[in-house]
Amino acid sequence: MNTMNPSITAEAGIRDQGAAISVPEDKPEDTVIEEGKTVGKPFADDPKFKLRNVEVSYGAARAIKNISLDIGRNEVIAFIGPSGCGKSTFLRCLNRMNDSIEICRVKGSLELDDQNIYDPKRDVVELRARVGMVFQKPNPFPKSIYDNVAYGPRIHGLANRKSELDDIVENSLRKAGLWNEAKDRLDATATGMSGGQQQRLCIARAIAVSPEVILMDEPCSALDPIATARVEELIAEMSESYTIVIVTHSMQQAARVSSRTAYFHMGHLVEVNDTSKVFTMPEHELTESYITGRFG
């Protein structure tokens, strides 16, 4: 078995993150939410992702309840919500990372560029190259910096010659804002880098296979404020070339980096709106309660 297959390693990454397999119990607040109804602007023209009536359950327990959402091209959209609300579960639907969780069932229509993501004939590895993922805890391979970035392009056959591979590695590291720090030690082992550098390396690794979408699951949770600020700057630059979906616990981060914000609550998508509106005058009372800290 090829243990270095990036999709398997990434799946291990999910288990390392202690991924939210906890399922929210139904609480009295559920009664104020109308299932399948989302206030604000959940839909977009010519979306990158078109998601309709998505249902995700872990065994008998419903984790995502009838959610419909568009994710626009080249937008940065933030998913926020209390612990256990389903935002990470929903994120993982977008590149079928939930496939690795046996009891997880995904229903509904999920399309990327008008093509069904869950088509059984679909090449999942190719999907995950197009829709890359960066996790909460940086998870570089136990290889050199160069090989971390080069691994994906190698196995996807993106380079015919060493010089082409070198170019891809350099471009990816540059885009991730890591080139100057790494260029003189590309052969050094990646695990020797600081947390912030490792995370930017993981971003470079995702970029190296020319994705169209980058999913980020609390990418700065494990980083200090300076490293966080650098990653946020990076997100702003990357949004010109990629569609970015970021799950975050930090309201301020969502406010800083995203153009639209989606508020999840107990498996429901309560509100989606322009970020500036969500944080100054949200439409739904639950959204306001959460972001003002009246309940978590």
Partner 1 sequence: MPAKKDDVYGDHISNKFNDELLALKTRFLKMGGLVETQIDSAVKALVDSDGYLAEEIRAKDKLVDRMEMDVDEEAMLIIARRQPTARDLRLVISVIRMVADLERVGDEAKKIAKFAIKLSEEGQAPQGYVEVRHIGAHVMGMLHDSLDAFARLDSEQALRVMKEDKRVDEEYQAAARTLLTFMMEDARNISRCMSVMWVLRALERVGDHACNIAENVIFMVKGEDVRHTPMEEAERVVGR
Q: Is 291 in the site for partner 1 (CB under 8 A)?
A: yes
DSSP helix/strand/coil, 57: strand
Q: Is 251 in the site for partner 1 (CB under 8 A)?
A: yes
C-alpha to C-alpha distance for 260 and 164, rounded to whole angstroms: 37
Q: Is 276 in the site for partner 1 (CB under 8 A)?
A: no
C-alpha to C-alpha distance for 260 and 72, rounded to whole angstroms: 10
**Which of 49, 263 has the CB closer to partner 1?**
263
**Which of 9, 221 has the CB closer to partner 1?**
221
What is the smallest separation between the CB atom of 110 and partner 1, expressed in angstroms?
A: 31
Q: Is 255 in the site for partner 1 (CB under 8 A)?
A: yes
- CB contact at 8 A, 94 and 110: yes
What is the smallest separation between the CB atom of 284 and partner 1, expressed in angstroms?
A: 11
Q: Is 259 in the site for partner 1 (CB under 8 A)?
A: no
Backbone angles phi, psi at 47, to 5 degrees: -75, 155
Task: Count, in order, helices (H) and strands (E) of the chain.
Answer: 11, 11
Q: Is 120 in the site for partner 1 (CB under 8 A)?
A: no
Q: Is 280 in the site for partner 1 (CB under 8 A)?
A: yes
**Which of 163, 252 has the CB closer to partner 1?**
252
147 CA to centre of own chain: 23
- CB contact at 8 A, 174 and 237: no
Q: Is 225 in the site for partner 1 (CB under 8 A)?
A: no
Per the structure block, which two tokens stand in for 241? 């070339």
**Piece in contact with partner 1 (CB under 8 A), picked from 43-51, 77-85, 197-205, 287-295:** 287-295
Please identify which residue in the block is written with the tokens 């946020």. 232
Q: Is 279 in the site for partner 1 (CB under 8 A)?
A: yes
Q: What H or E segment, with its residue span, contains residue 40?
A: strand 39-40
Chain contacts with partner 1 (rule: CB under 8 A): 251-252, 255, 279-282, 285-286, 288-289, 291-296
